[in-house]
Amino acid sequence: MHIAIAGNIGSGKTTLTKMLAKRYGWTPRFEPVDNNPYLSDFYADMERWSFNLQVYFLNKRFKEVVEISKSNDTIVQDRTIFEDARIFAPNLHATGKMSDRDFANYSDLFDLMMSLVNLPDLMIYIRTTIPNIVAQIQKRGREYEKSIRIDYLQGLNDRYEEWISTYKGHLLIVDGDNTKFESNPEDFKQITDMIDAKLYGLFPLE
């Protein structure tokens, strides 16, 4: 089974992935951030490095999806291939940081990949606002994230909302501003209760 966790930068995806993996005994798959050879360059010069960065993510994410589809384990994934293609790449293109040519090439590649894989069995979307995102980014203190602009984060948030409003698969939405699952056991239990209802209730996923 494939459980995917989606949400903007700093929304708590990695924390929730770790907590759910521990709670259910699922196998976690984390976003390849620290080993990404393009990330620091991208934040320093988005126009130059946007295509390289997005193709790197797409390559890594597609490999993960294929591996997950072949696994007998229940896997919980930190960020999905859909976010790369439906949020980050379109946002870069719309703001002039990815050329028409590169975006068309990228989109064709994504469409081909998606013709070969299925949606996750359950998508968990952490919905959060910009002030909360900024606070989380400051809290974790990653050097390369300090230069991220507010308007960039807002553009991502808008695209997340647009994408999730049309998502066709099984979906749970977590209020990332008011559900402090990382520090409040009752808030985390609310999430696991929703997951249990989806996976093991009277009308489980089909």
Closest alpha carbon to 197 in 159, 170, 176, 177: 170
Q: At what angle do helices 130-140 and 150-164 cross, to 10 degrees?
A: 120
Which listed residue (78, 84, 102, 121) is catalytic? 78
Q: How far apart are CA 30 and CA 18, in angstroms?
A: 9
Q: What is the spatial order of strands in the sheet that 27-29 belongs to?
A: 27-29, 75-78, 2-7, 122-127, 171-175
Annotation says 78 is catalytic: yes
List, for residues 36-71, the tens digit of each pLDDT value: 889 889 989 999 999 999 999 899 889 989 999 999
- SS3 for 172? strand
Tens-place pLDDT, residues 68-112: 999 999 999 998 999 989 998 998 999 899 999 999 999 999 999
What is the pLDDT at residue 93? 94
Which residues in 64-117 belong to E strands, given as ranges?
Answer: 75-78
pTM above 0.75, yes or no: yes
